[in-house]
Amino acid sequence: MSLTSVPRHLAHWVPARFRHRGDEYRRHGRVRIVSGNDAFVEAAVQGSVLYTVRLAVHPETAELLSACTCPWSRRSYDPCKHVWAVLSEAFSLGHLGGARQAEVLRNAEAGEIERLEELVRRGPDAGDYQPIAWSQLPGRMRASQASSKDGAPLRLIYEIDVTGSGQAGYLVVALLRQRRLKRGGWGAPRPARLAEIARRRLGELDAADRRLAPLLCDIQQSISAPWTLAWRDDIVALDSGRAETLLPRLCATGRLCLSSPSGEPSATGPWLSWDEGPAWQLEIALAEGDTPADYELRGSLVRGEERLEASEVRLVFDRIMFTQDRVAVLQHRGAIDLLGAMMVGIRPALPRRDGPRFVSELLSLPDPPRMQLPPELAIERVRGVPIPVLEVSLPETTTRGDTLRARLAFAYEDMRAAEDLAGPVLRQPDRRREIVRDRRAEQHARERLDSLGVTAADLSAGERVTRRLPVGSFAETVETLLGEGWRVEAESKPIRPRGRPSASVSSGIDWFELEASVDYDGEEIPLPRLLAARQGSLPLVRLSDGSWGLSPEEWLGRLRLAEAFAGDRPGKPDAAGGGTLRFARSQVGVLGAVLEGVPGVERDRTFDRALRRVRRLGRIRPAASPRGFRGALRPYQAEGVAWMKAVTDLGLGGCLADDMGLGKTIQTLALLQARRNRRRRGERRTSLVLAPRSVLQNWKSEASRFTPQLDVLVHHGAGRTREAGPLQDADVVLTTYGTLLRDLELLSSVPFRLVVLDEAQAIKNARTKISAAVRRLDAVERLALSGTPVENHLGELWTLLDFLNPGLFGRSTVLRNLSRAHSELDEPTREVLSRAVRPFLLRRTKQEVAPELPERSEQTLQCELGRTQRSLYRELQRHYRARIREALASGDRRRSGPLILEGLTRLRQAACHPGLIDPDRTHLPSAKLDLLEERLDQLLAEGHKALVFSQFTKLLAIVRRRLEDRGIPYAYLDGRTRHRAEVVREFQQDDELPVFLISLKAGGLGLNLTAASYVFLLDPWWNPSVEAQAIDRSHRIGQANRVSAYRLVAADTIEERVLELQDRKRLLADAVLRQTRGPLASLTTEELEFLFS
């Protein structure tokens, strides 16, 4: 860009180094003129920061003043590089015309430019007027007269060179000057040397010419014009961009004209005016030619009702046309050569036989011209009826939270218009046909997509309109649109509506087979192929013709569970597309639960009959007490015995999941007595009962009391038999889980009739040795007893049911995976699972079957730690928090997990008593034990008995010493107590023994302690079911008093967080066992970390 438009006498006021740097600012586009005129300019320059530059012409001294916000200008007299950059830009744009006569360029003083602007804005008055020296008056009068249009002694004429324009893509403008004559009028036009006028004679021009002359001079020196024009300084060559910008300004002077054919300069016009109207359109007409075999091509320019013949146009330069008296914008659509021929009267001939092809080719152009055609070539125009089309792009993988890219288009017959395609018509060139688009219907389709949440994405320049379709609402959106007559495509292939599903169940020798498929207009897709061909998380299946079928998700979701629970697949999908799912006979309940509510399932009689037998398990009538059973069964217990008998008679296993204290042991003994009574010759005799060591003695004593006819063998201790014979001769073998591991080879060799797992949650972890060992036992029938079959996660339920009915859930990982952190079941799966397991689980609560039990209350008692105990707790908390954060930051989960558990244990101990952290501190006070003693004093004074539970035996030892110091008698039981039954009996019968100290793990099972009506839990445990078991030692059948349970919790400690986790887990078992909703999450490392927050 040329910088010579700045007058030389001003340039020398700026140091050369600043001029060079200023030129660099302009070349890199870092100068922006904010406002400008002949007297003032304000601009912004991007330097290290954004600087503001202001220039002003002083009206009295004719000085050019500058001001810049950069540091240099604030401390120097010389203008800076930013001022030079703005000065050059301003002169190139025609600003600061009043500064060309200025002889001085200097930095303004503080506030000087602002005062000049205010003076011009308000106009001079008495207060503002400053008298000038007489010597300045003539010059100011001369300048004022020269600036008046009527008095300007010199004017410019701008003449378009019609012949020369178009050479090398330039519009050639010749400049002529005319001088005003003394007698009036103007002299003859002469060539104007633009550079000389711009430098020396600018003040003789009127305002319009003064603005244009420097600008044209700058253009003249910055554009490399053809060499034929370069030597003339009265010529300016304009490229298309500058021509469109400057022609309106040139027309505004009233002195723009076209060159005459004779080449003589024009002094009288006709002058050209700028046409402000819309662009003119080229219209091509096919008319009758000179011979019958030809058409004649004619051209017109049209705009609404206006029409110009092509011959009236003198010149066309790019998008600008010139007639004799106007300059206007033209849309010729590339037919410049044809228009040029018509302008000089040439009308090309077109053979008639080529007419249809010519018209078709014009129609096929991206932007066809307007046409006037004879009837035989007329273009048919029809009003189109659009069918909206949603074109969806499918990524390789998707999740429910993803968003798909989609585009909206409109199908008009065999043509398609994109949502963002401009133009009112679609053209069919081969048929000489135009379809008029229905813009109102297209807009309605856009609004419909917006209402469905398929919204347009933000666009970058040049991008097509793209819409966002959430994966989570894909199926619903597609089904809705298809139902409204839309087309939906994925990867350019149509998506069909949901197919028609069908399913049937047939019976084999010892299995059931499920065959299911979906019909898509005659194409049958079997279930295994449907599941295998599903497109990621989208409900789509690819059909044989390449199209997509929208899969029936609710139906498929049910049968996906069937596929997960199935065992063998004898009919895997093959090339022919077949495939069935096979289920064992024991899975009839599972399959029935999956298919319940699925429409259109055909089932054979054998399956229906087997399913009815399983479902009748929920409607069993109570059984009479078996012969030889001493005692009376309560109604619900008689029903439990009948249920266990019915389940095992079907060859199935069941879990009696009654609340603790409802007599699961008695019901099982009644069943064992009934089995002994009806044993046939050749049948297996012996039943095995596996139980925790803590309740083994209770089983023996209960058997002696209720079923004395049973031959019971206790297989436990050093004197137990090492031979299978004695075991096979007994009716019932009682043993512990630990003994099973030690005598696995012996016990697994005995053919048992029935295996009973008491406190069956002992096998909840499928990966433990005990869980593996019980699976090796040889038994015809299997039962489990557990008041809490689900303690932490539903994976425990799978382990239990898989023992009772091997293969009940096939190869399914649906339940097994729930042992992982945060695994949860969705609502449909939970409902199916609940129905599937219901026949194999019988659960009754105390509220349901034993309303005569006295009321039970639970209360949390908070205590505040004393200063010493609180200080110890805080010290431990800071220590473990720092170590755990360090371990978590390293990403080593294996190291952080045990560390977290260690820290939690230590904090729980510190909340109980300092002596659990340091044995030398057992003498220190404990807020929790102080509260316990206070409550015990009240209870003992009233003659009540109390159970005191703790997980920490060391804490119980401290309590023992405190009771001894106060002379309070007590009973004690932990895992090392040998004579449990004697200890329990003594507490139950001795009124002088008011307190029972019990280890939570050792005394939470198999104890009947109804003599106590108060229960104290000294330290809350993660699992609420463990605490419930402890409380149920007192609140059970035989209790005559109201039971009150108290949890002692240290305020503002880890124990409060434990209670929060308990609230989450308390609802876990009911989610499946009682088909209620609730969180199904296990205790995770993240939850443990939360405890330290």
Residue 1073, SS3? helix
CA distance 674 to 884: 58
Tell how many helices (H) and how many strands (E) occur in the chain. 38, 50
Q: 210: closest CA among 222, 219, 199, 224?
A: 199
Mean pLDDT, residues 47-59? 83
Token pair, residue 242, equals 């500058």
What is the per-residue pLDDT across 653-690, written as a single tens digit (0 to 9) for each?
Answer: 999 988 777 889 999 999 999 999 988 777 888 999 99
CB 915 within 8 A of CB 924: yes
Topology agreement, domain 622-849 and domain 856-1052:
yes
Which is more confidently placed, 494 or 696?
Answer: 494
Distances from the Cα of 984 to the Cα of 780, 784, 995, angstroms: 36, 26, 12
CB 756 within 8 A of CB 687: yes
Write down the pLDDT at residue 121: 55
Write down the pLDDT at residue 124: 43
Mean pLDDT, residues 246-256? 91
Write down the pLDDT at residue 777: 94
Four-CA torsion 1049, 1050, 1055, 1061, nearest 10 degrees: 50
Q: 840: closest CA among 801, 791, 792?
A: 801
CB 1043 within 8 A of CB 1015: yes
pLDDT exceeds cutoff 80 at 646: yes
Q: 787: closest CA among 765, 755, 758?
A: 758
Confidence of residue 224 (pLDDT cuts 50, 70, 90): low
- Answer left, alpha or beta for residue 935, where phi above 0 means left and psi between -120 and 50 means alpha: alpha
CATH code at 622-849: 3.40.50.10810
pLDDT exceeds cutoff 90 at 651: no
pLDDT exceeds cutoff 60 at 556: yes
What share of the chain in percent tops pLDDT 70? 85
Confidence of residue 2 (pLDDT cuts 50, 70, 90): very low
pLDDT exceeds cutoff 60 at 133: no
Q: Which H or E run contains 998?
A: strand 995-999
Write down the pLDDT at residue 146: 44
Distances from the Cα of 277 to the Cα of 283, 308, 326, 496, 921, angstroms: 18, 14, 11, 52, 100
pLDDT exceeds cutoff 60 at 262: yes
Write down the pLDDT at residue 35: 82
Write down the pLDDT at residue 443: 92
Write down the pLDDT at residue 815: 54
pLDDT exceeds cutoff 60 at 240: yes
Write down the pLDDT at residue 855: 76
CA distance 1026 to 1010: 18
Highest mean predicted confidence (pLDDT) among 110-119, 877-886, 959-968? 959-968
Token pair, residue 107, equals 């930095």
pLDDT exceeds cutoff 60 at 259: yes
What is the per-residue pLDDT across 356-398, written as a single tens digit (0 to 9) for each?
Answer: 888 888 877 777 888 888 888 888 888 889 999 999 988 877 7
Write down the pLDDT at residue 567: 65
Which is more confidently placed, 9 or 708?
Answer: 708
Mean pLDDT, residues 576-587? 70
Which residues are within 8 A (CB) of 1000 and not within 5 positions of it... i.e. 6 or more apart? 949, 950, 951, 1017, 1021, 1026, 1027, 1030
Residue that is written with structure tokens 């008995």 in the block: 945
- Answer left, alpha or beta for residue 166, where phi above 0 means left and psi between -120 and 50 means alpha: left
Write down the pLDDT at residue 980: 82
String of DSSP letters for 339-391? HHHHHTT---EEEGGGHHHHHHHHHTSSSPPEEE--GGGPPEEEE---EEEEE
Which is more confidently placed, 54 or 101?
Answer: 54
Domain parsing of the chain, residue ranges: 8-131, 154-271, 275-377, 383-491, 500-614, 622-849, 856-1052
CB 354 within 8 A of CB 362: no
Mean pLDDT, residues 62-73? 83
Write down the pLDDT at residue 125: 42
Write down the pLDDT at residue 241: 82
- Helical spans, DSSP H, in 364-473: 439-451
Rg (CA), the chain: 50
CA distance 674 to 731: 11
pLDDT exceeds cutoff 90 at 114: no
Write down the pLDDT at residue 1076: 35
CA 556 to chain centre: 25
What is the per-residue pLDDT across 914-932, written as a single tens digit (0 to 9) for each?
Answer: 999 998 898 888 988 988 9
CATH of 856-1052, one of 2.60.40.1510, 1.10.10.10, 1.10.357.10, 3.40.50.300: 3.40.50.300
CB 948 within 8 A of CB 1014: no
Which residue type is seen at 414? D
Q: 64: closest CA among 22, 12, 108, 28?
A: 108
CA distance 510 to 583: 9
Mean pLDDT, residues 488-508? 90
pLDDT exceeds cutoff 90 at 203: no
Confidence of residue 139 (pLDDT cuts 50, 70, 90): very low
Mean pLDDT, residues 425-436? 83
State the chain's mean pLDDT as an integer: 81
What share of the chain in percent tops pLDDT 90? 22
CA distance 315 to 303: 18
- Answer left, alpha or beta for residue 435, where phi above 0 means left and psi between -120 and 50 means alpha: beta
3-class DSSP string for 695-750: HHHHHHHHHHHHCCCCCEEECCCCCCCCCHHHHHHCCEEEEEHHHHHHCHHHHHCC
Confidence of residue 13 (pLDDT cuts 50, 70, 90): confident
> Which residues make beta-bridge pairs with 983?
none
What is the per-residue pLDDT across 743-768, written as a single tens digit (0 to 9) for each?
Answer: 999 999 999 999 999 988 888 777 78
Mean pLDDT, residues 901-912? 87
Write down the pLDDT at residue 954: 93
Peptide bond into 751 cis (omega under 30): no
DSSP code of 148? S
Q: Of the ranges 157-161, 429-433, 966-970, 1063-1067, which one carries the lowest mean pLDDT score?
A: 1063-1067
Write down the pLDDT at residue 820: 43
String of DSSP letters for 638-678? HHHHHHHHHHHHTT--EEE-PPTTS-HHHHHHHHHHHHHHT
pLDDT exceeds cutoff 90 at 886: no
Token pair, residue 572, equals 């895997």
Distances from the Cα of 662 to the Cα of 657, 659, 843, 988, 1007, angstroms: 10, 6, 10, 19, 13
Nearest-10 crossing angle of helices 588-595, 827-837: 140
Confidence of residue 814 (pLDDT cuts 50, 70, 90): low
